[in-house]
Amino acid sequence: MRRAWKPIVGLLLVALVGLGLVGVTRLNRFSEATSGKGLLTSDISERAGESDRFNLLVLGYGGKGHDGANLTDSILVYSVPLDGGPASQISIPRDMWVESPVGSGQYRKVNSVYAQALAETGNPRQAANVAAKSIGSALGVPIQGWMTVDFDGFRDLVNALGGVEVDVQRRFTARYPDPKRPLKWTNVKFEKGVQEMDGEKAIQYARARYVYNNPAEGSDFGRAARQQRLVAAIKSKLLSPAGLARGFSVADAVQDDILTNVSSGDLARLFRRGTDPKRAVVLSDQNVLIPGTSNDGQYILYPPEGDYTVVHRFVRDALSDRPAARR
């Protein structure tokens, strides 16, 4: 009887090895398509240099079919300490005034840096590098990694995961462009509490701006906080058994919508690190930025007297979890 089972067990082992090789091949193909690096390439420590953290810049933009298609209205730095401990998130408002290119003496809104560099170079990777340098200079920290994702990719990611659960902090209603009717608007409503969201609902939650009944949710800062909660929900689902089981579907869904300079293996290492809600901060006019007007009449946010060392100290405090950064 035991001898009869041996061929079957052998076939099962061969099948499992075969499936494993197919899986690795598919994931390696995804890594090369999005980052230009193999799945097993790991250079986090090397690129971090003398820094004790690896800082990943995540840029979200509208893409084709959206006004200001390449404006990055979602900007977040995901900062991971290399010696262990929880990761931090720093959201940057789209109206923050930053120097770009670094050293040029020219300033622009941070959400236009990537778009401007892309228009000049025609190369999305070069444009992301320019954005990383400008944002790193404004924050006073090195940005070693970056990821760009358009809204279609974001929507497809959530749908490929089978939806995500998001803890909505405040009830609100907003006007939002109707995805089924160009140039038309619809009302979107969100109740307080944990709720399941598909890709379209998640996009609406992250981007809703014209809020009727809760002004705080209509601000850039309110949106940034919502985006942090949504990123946390996506990360939680990705790392869950259900999310891992959908890994190939997720990779296939977003492969054409994501670019990064970090291999998929390294991204997995970075995002596997736990995050502490207390380490999630939003740069705003409630901490280190003040509202103002540029020489050409744009509404902007910048540090008092243009002293970016104020921002640098705040960010360092936020990353080290000092009380000063919790204001």
**Between 210 and 37, the higher pLDDT residue:** 37
pLDDT number for residue 56? 96
Tell whether 247 is covered by a domain.
Answer: no
Tell whether 67 is covered by a domain.
Answer: yes
Average pLDDT, the chain: 84
**How far is residue 223's CA from residue 201's CA, in Å, rounded to a whole number?**
14
Residue-wise pLDDT tens digits, 230-247: 888 888 888 888 888 888
pLDDT number for residue 10? 38
Residue-wise pLDDT tens digits, 283-297: 999 899 999 999 999
**How far is residue 198's CA from residue 162's CA, in Å, rounded to a whole number?**
7
**Between 154 and 95, the higher pLDDT residue:** 95
Tell whether 252 is covered by a domain.
Answer: no
Tell whether 109 is covered by a domain.
Answer: yes
Last residue of a domain, one of 207, 238, 269: 238
266 and 229 in a single domain? The answer is no
Tell whether 264 is covered by a domain.
Answer: yes
115 and 192 in a single domain? The answer is no
Residues 6 or more apart from 68 whose CB is under 8 A from it?
Answer: 62, 115
Q: What pairing do the DSSP bridges indicate for beta strands 258-260 and 275-282?
A: unpaired
CB 281 within 8 A of CB 60: no
144 and 174 in a single domain? The answer is no
147 and 261 in a single domain? The answer is yes
Tell whether 100 is covered by a domain.
Answer: yes
- Which structural domain range is residue 2 located in? 1-41
Tell whether 246 is covered by a domain.
Answer: no
68 and 17 in a single domain? The answer is no
Give the residue-averaged pLDDT of 14-41: 69
pLDDT number for residue 58? 94
pLDDT number for residue 41? 85
Could you give the C-alpha distances from 198 to 139, 192, 271, in angstroms and in order?
33, 17, 21
Give the residue-averaged pLDDT of 198-227: 83
Give the residue-averaged pLDDT of 33-39: 89
148 and 49 in a single domain? The answer is yes
pLDDT number for residue 316? 92
107 and 125 in a single domain? The answer is yes
230 and 271 in a single domain? The answer is no
Structural domain total, the chain: 3
The pTM of the full predicted model, rounded to 2 decimals, is: 0.84
230 and 205 in a single domain? The answer is yes
User: Please, where are the H alpha helices in 161-245?
Assistant: 199-207, 215-218, 220-238, 241-245
Residue 19 predicted with pLDDT over 60: no
107 and 225 in a single domain? The answer is no
Residue 1 predicted with pLDDT over 90: no
198: its two tokens: 């598909």
320 and 176 in a single domain? The answer is no
Can you tell me which residue has the tokens 């070069």? 126
Tell whether 158 is covered by a domain.
Answer: no
Residue-wise pLDDT tens digits, 76-135: 999 999 988 889 989 999 999 999 999 999 999 999 999 999 999 999 999 999 999 999
Give the residue-averaged pLDDT of 22-50: 83
Q: In this structure, what is the dihedral angle of CA atoms 197, 201, 204, 207, given to the nearest 10 degrees?
A: 40
85 and 122 in a single domain? The answer is yes
Percent of the chain at pLDDT exceeding 70: 89
